Structure 1
Amino acid sequence: MKIKTGLGQDSHAFCDTNKPLVLSGVVFDYSKGLNTNSDGDVVFHSITNAISSITGVNVLGTKADALCKQGVVDSAEYLKLAFHDLNHWKIQHIAIAIECLYPKISPMIEKMKFSISKLLDIAPEDVGITATTGEGLTEFGKGSSIQVFSIVTVTK
């Protein structure tokens, strides 16, 4: 059996618009959205980048930008492209670390895990999500933005 591990990161600042805050495909009850051309789902973006580090095919950037210009702003569509690039590799586990002051992540973790697992055809227990404020040492922990790191482990 062959094993690969991918690391991905993404971050976005909040903006004062009517844009909903979407994390892992789940809409959060929060007054601010994220400042991006897409829906700004930093969790899906981070996972997409982790998968891209495995396949060597960068989805965020040229491919996602082209889709945005066509009106496709759902980050699940970008993650689906990366997932397709895995070909015969099977996701075994995804570890996700989120840093932000707001919104509170813990109450939504189970919904987030279910959304990710459904999209990537894995069991919810194969998705781990942690959240921290980082003791307010960064802009993420001070409440102006969100940062996410993801590690994806695949086998073949």
Structure 2
Amino acid sequence: MIIKTGLGQDSHQFEKKSGKDLVLAGIKFDYPFGLKGNSDADVIFHSITNSISSITGKNILGDVADQLVKTGIKESAKYLQIALDDLGDWKINHIAVALECAKPKIANHVEAMKESIANTCQINRSDVGITATSGEGLTSFGRGEGIQAITIITVSKS
């Protein structure tokens, strides 16, 4: 068996005015500000996409996503699906996501986000881990200016 581990990161600032939905792991949060970006700016799905790109060597967030945005596709789940298709015969064993944000509070949404990631990636919910920290005000994320996600993915094939 061959095993690979991929690392991905993404971060976005909050919009200055309300009106855009805050989407994390495909879940809409009841929060007045969305994240800045030319897509829905779902930092979790972007981070997972980047972790897969680190395995496949095919960068999705960049030219591919930019072309999709030009056609009106702004859902990060679509970008993630392209990365998942690029995995080919690699099987996802585990996805670990670490979030840093002072707001919104994440704890009440962890199970729904895990379920969404598992469904999107066609893996068991038990193979998804999510942790969150407020950052203690040490970074812009810890001061409530945005959200950062870091993902590690483990894949294998025979």
Give the partner amino acid of 1:92: N
The residue type paired with residue 90 of structure 2 is W
**Where does structure 1 lack aligned partners over 5 or more consecutive residues?**
none
**Equivalent residue number for residue 50 of structure 2:** 49
Residues 99-154 of structure 1 show CA distances to partners (whole Å, capped at 9, x for unaligned) of: 00001111000000000000100000100000001111000000001000000000
The TM-score with structure 2 as length reference comes to 0.98
Partner secondary structure for residue 33 of structure 1: coil
Structure 2 Cα separation of the partners of residues 41 and 68 of structure 1:
14
2:27 — aligned with what?
26
* Aligned-partner residue type, residue 6 of structure 2: G
Code of the aligned partner of 1:9: Q
CA RMSD of aligned residues (A): 0.5
Flag as ranges the 4+ runs of structure 1 deviating above 2 A.
none
1:10 pairs with 2:25: no
Q: Which runs of 5+ in 2 are unaligned?
A: none
The DSSP-based 3-state class of the residue aligned with 2:153 is: strand
Map residues 1-156 of structure 1 onto 2, 5 A cutoff.
Answer: 1-15=1-15, 16-156=17-157
> Residue 134 of structure 1 aligns to which amino acid in structure 2?
G
Once residues 19 and 52 of structure 1 are traced to their aligned partners in structure 2, the CA distance between those partners, rounded to angstroms, is: 27
Give the secondary-structure state (helix, strand or coil) at the position aligned to 1:153: strand
Partner amino acid, structure 2, of 1:3: I
Counterpart secondary structure, 1:48: helix
Amino acid at match of 1:37: N
Q: Percent identity?
A: 60
Letter in 2 for 1:128: G
* Distance in 1, Cα, partners of 2:32 & 2:113: 19
Deviation, 1:17, is 3.1
Distance 2:56 2:41 in 1: 23
